[in-house]
Amino acid sequence: MSEQENIATTSAPTVEDYLNPLARPELKPDSMKDLHSFEASETHQEKLGFPGELVDDWHDVAIAKMGDLLTKYRGFRVYLDSCVKCGACTDKCHYFLGTGDPKNMPVARQDLLRSVYRRYFTTGGKYFPKLVGARDLTEDVLGEWYNYFHQCSQCRRCSVYCPYGIDTAEISMAAREIMDTVGKGQKYCNEIIGKVYDVGNNLGFPTPALKATLESFEEDLEDETGLEIKLPLDKKGADILLVTPSADFVAEPHIDGFLGYAKVFHAAGANWTLSSVASEAANFGMFIGSYENMRKVSLRIREAALELGVKRIVFGECGHAWRVAYSFLNTLAGPFDFLDPRYPVPQHICEYTWDLIQKGELKFDKSRNDEYRLTYHDSCNVARATRMGDTPGGQFEIPRNILKATCNYYFDMEEDTIKEATVCCGGGGGLLTDDLMDLRVKGASPRMTALQNVRKEHGVTHMAAICAICKSQFAKVMPKYDFEMDNILSVHQMVSNAILLEGAKDPDDDDDDDDDDWIPPTPPPRPPRGSAA
Ligand code: SF4
Ligand code: SF4
Ligand code: SF4
């Protein structure tokens, strides 16, 4: 069959097969109003310094706290004052796109709090509440806050499109902080922060278990490579402290990424360590908007770095952890003047790896990743709240550069769903809990639709990410969208597969299956783009 005939008989997708990931949904008013994630218990609350249950004078405490935040954070007041209801943000939230509930439009979410702000803090709202859309803070309003401010992953996509830069994530953090202050906290976030205080990490993984896990990983690495690749814990005098999400020790595909970092450190001859005090990069203090808790979680990293005498701090693959590290770590736990000033404080593992690649210090056999046709999910916290490297957009390019250096088949998803415009995985911001599964599945639909489109267009089989929450969320929701749960990968998993380590045995030596015959799938011909909605 000639190539021409072959193309003609391929069942190429038609324009109708492509759905618009960002299509406006049919409106379903109040459809998500009853979705209520579990509330924190007295024990969870008190460990974080919050009242154990709703305090008797909760109304006055809430208004006083709002006043306190308005004084402390000037941006909060500006955001509440400056919305002109232009509507540019209305269809920018993945939760609105996935649920159709108008209260999940960013401007409507903001208005839940703005209406109360107007009532108590503006002259118009005090005297003519109806005229200015002001309302009293009642128990029903508090309940509405709880449900809808726990339907925001604080991804900041809406703020990119707002002409005034109003950041709904900040408003959602403030709302959660006010609720914690009156004794109405969320179980998922607050329980996890408590585990960090008690044990050192989100998963409550004690040091002996962590040590045993690292030892078993060392054995796996030796079986795979024939090399002694160490995963040191609490090694005094190490140069580098690696702070990584605890999911990297227990979950898939996180572990494969973690083993990739270890191989990079090994190839570079780095003297590195993990810490049992700071065995967690995540900082859920940000999700609940609590400066005090965010600071307490961050101070563990400073304590570990000083105790171990390291010169550098490197963060593993975690979206919001990198946001806290990049944007706030120095304020929360600095100054870090005891670290080596020649390196960024802190540094992302992708920056570390890419730097070595550029210097020619890492070598890869890309064909080892030929079973993957890959795309990349920009984690929103990395994309919209941080940077990497020393050029603008480094946070978009560095992870892609690493993937392109380690695999032969890489394809981006649609422009309006990646980089600064990326759509959230649907599980960030403290929503990665089973009691919010309905929201998580619906909120993932824009990303999943974009992934389905790139699969149709280029035969993409897998998606890589650099966020622990994104990876866990996708592993859970992908099967709902006709993907396998292992279609989500870690970026450093690609590094791990392809890296050539000196003296390592050939991975094919252990291969007793006939994968050698595998031929990458041929993508269907590219159909015209256009009215794909
Ligand atoms: S920050 Fe993200 S989740 Fe929250 S309203 Fe904006 S787009 Fe939606
Ligand atoms: S885009 Fe900004 S100004 Fe316009 S409605 Fe949304 S929040 Fe208000
Ligand atoms: S989990 Fe990932 S995609 Fe979702 S909000 Fe966090 S960084 Fe963004």
What was the pLDDT predicted at 203? 86
Q: Is residue 158 part of a domain?
A: yes
Distances in whole angstroms, Cα of residue 226 to Cα of each of 147, 220, 232, 500: 52, 10, 18, 13
Q: Rounded to 5 degrees, what are φ and ψ at 96?
A: -70, -45
Distance in Å, CA 237 to ligand 3 centroid: 34
Please state the atom number of ligand 3 nearest to the C-alpha of residue 473.
1
- Give which of 451, 514, 315, 499 is closest to 395, Cα–Cα: 315
Q: What is the domain range of residue 119?
A: 42-185
* Cβ atoms of 491 and 465 closer than 8 Å: yes
Distance in Å, CA 85 to ligand 2 centroid: 5
233 in the same domain as 139: no
Give residue-wise pLDDT tens across range 126-146. Answer: 999 999 999 999 999 999 999
Q: Is residue 525 part of a domain?
A: no
Take residue 309 and report the two structure tokens written for it: 């005498």
* Domain harbouring 152, CATH code: 1.10.1060
Take residue 282 and report the two structure tokens written for it: 């995540």
Ligand nearest to the CA of 468: 3
Residue to substitute in 96, 109, 152, 323 for testing ligand 1 pocket (most ligand atoms within 8 angstroms of CB): 152
264 in the same domain as 131: no
Q: Is residue 397 part of a domain?
A: yes
| Whether the CB of 443 sits within 6 Å of ligand 3 | no
The DSSP output letter for 410 is B
Which residues, listed in sequence order, are joined to residue 374 by a DSSP beta bridge?
410, 462
Residue to substitute in 22, 92, 160, 176 for testing ligand 1 pocket (most ligand atoms within 8 angstroms of CB): 92
Sheet hosting strand 312-315, strand order edge to edge: 272-273, 240-243, 312-315, 347-348
Those residues with Cβ within 8 angstroms of residue 130's Cβ, 6 or more apart along the chain or in another chain:
none
- Three-state secondary-structure class, residue 347: strand
169 in the same domain as 219: no
Please state the atom number of ligand 1 nearest to the C-alpha of residue 153.
3
State the alpha helices, DSSP H only, in 238-284. 247-250, 254-268
385 in the same domain as 250: yes
Ligand 3: residue whose CA is nearest its atom 4: 428
Which residues, given as ranges, of the chain have pLDDT below 70? 1-16, 510-533
Which of 185, 216, 244 terminates a domain? The answer is 185
Alpha carbon 102 to chain centroid, angstroms: 25
What was the pLDDT predicted at 235? 98
Ligand 2: residue whose CA is nearest its atom 3: 83
Please state the atom number of ligand 2 nearest to the C-alpha of residue 88.
1
Ligand nearest to the CA of 427: 3
* Cβ atoms of 388 and 350 closer than 8 Å: yes
148 in the same domain as 245: no
Sign of the alpha-carbon torsion through 318, 323, 324, 327: positive
Rounded CA gap, 316 and 255, in Å? 11
Of how many residues is the chain composed?
Answer: 533
424 in the same domain as 333: yes
Angle value at C-alpha 443, between 452 and 415, nearest 5 degrees: 50
Ligand nearest to the CA of 426: 3
* Cβ atoms of 157 and 380 closer than 8 Å: yes
Distances in whole angstroms, Cα of residue 456 to Cα of each of 11, 19, 413, 422: 11, 11, 11, 20
498 in the same domain as 463: yes
Q: Rounded to 5 degrees, what are φ and ψ at 341?
A: -70, -5
Distance in Å, CA 194 to ligand 3 centroid: 22
Q: Is residue 37 part of a domain?
A: no
Which residues, listed in sequence order, are joined to residue 186 by a DSSP beta bridge?
39
Three-state SS across 52-91?
CCCCCCHHHHHHHHHHHHHHHCHHHHHHHHHCCCCCCCCC
200 in the same domain as 61: no
Rounded CA gap, 313 and 343, in Å? 9
Which of 153, 185, 217 terminates a domain? The answer is 185
Ligand 2: residue whose CA is nearest its atom 5: 85
- Give which of 210, 406, 243 is closest to 313, Cα–Cα: 243
268 in the same domain as 181: no
| Whether the CB of 93 sits within 6 Å of ligand 2 | no
Which of 166, 185, 204 terminates a domain? The answer is 185
* Cβ atoms of 246 and 205 closer than 8 Å: yes
Q: Is residue 263 part of a domain?
A: yes
Residue ranges lining ligand 1, Cβ < 6 Å: 92-93, 95, 106, 109, 152-158, 168-169, 172
241 in the same domain as 116: no
Pairing of strands 240-243, 272-273: parallel
Rounded CA gap, 473 and 258, in Å? 18
Axis crossing angle, helix 187-199 with helix 291-308, rounded to the nearest 10: 30
| Whether the CB of 162 sits within 6 Å of ligand 2 | yes
Q: Where does residue 431 rank: exposed (0-12), middle (13-18), buried (19+ CB within 10 A)?
A: buried
Sign of the alpha-carbon torsion through 398, 401, 405, 406: positive
- Give which of 445, 427, 444 is closest to 436, Cα–Cα: 427
What was the pLDDT predicted at 515? 47
Please state the atom number of ligand 1 nearest to the C-alpha of residue 151.
3
Q: What is the DSSP string of 10-68?
A: S-PPPGGGPPPTTPPPPP-TTTTTT--PPBPPHHHHHHTTS-SS--TTHHHHHHHHHHH
Count of domains observed in the chain: 2
Q: Is residue 491 part of a domain?
A: yes
Distance in Å, CA 304 to ligand 3 centroid: 27
Residue at 273: amino acid letter: T
SS3 content of the chain, % helix, strand, coil (to 5): 50, 5, 40
Q: Rounded to 5 degrees, what are φ and ψ at 161?
A: -95, -5
Q: Is residue 526 part of a domain?
A: no
169 in the same domain as 212: no
- Give which of 380, 355, 185 is closest to 285, Cα–Cα: 185
Residue at 2: amino acid letter: S
Please state the atom number of ligand 3 nearest to the C-alpha of residue 382.
7
- Give which of 288, 381, 283, 289 is closest to 333, Cα–Cα: 283
Ligand 1: residue whose CA is nearest its atom 2: 155
Ligand nearest to the CA of 423: 3
Pairing of strands 312-315, 347-348: parallel
Distances in whole angstroms, Cα of residue 470 to Cα of each of 156, 317, 324, 377, 509: 15, 10, 16, 9, 34
State the alpha helices, DSSP H only, in 414-486. 437-443, 445-458, 468-477
Sign of the alpha-carbon torsion through 370, 481, 431, 173: positive
What was the pLDDT predicted at 532? 29
Ligand nearest to the CA of 473: 3
215 in the same domain as 66: no
Q: Is residue 13 part of a domain?
A: no
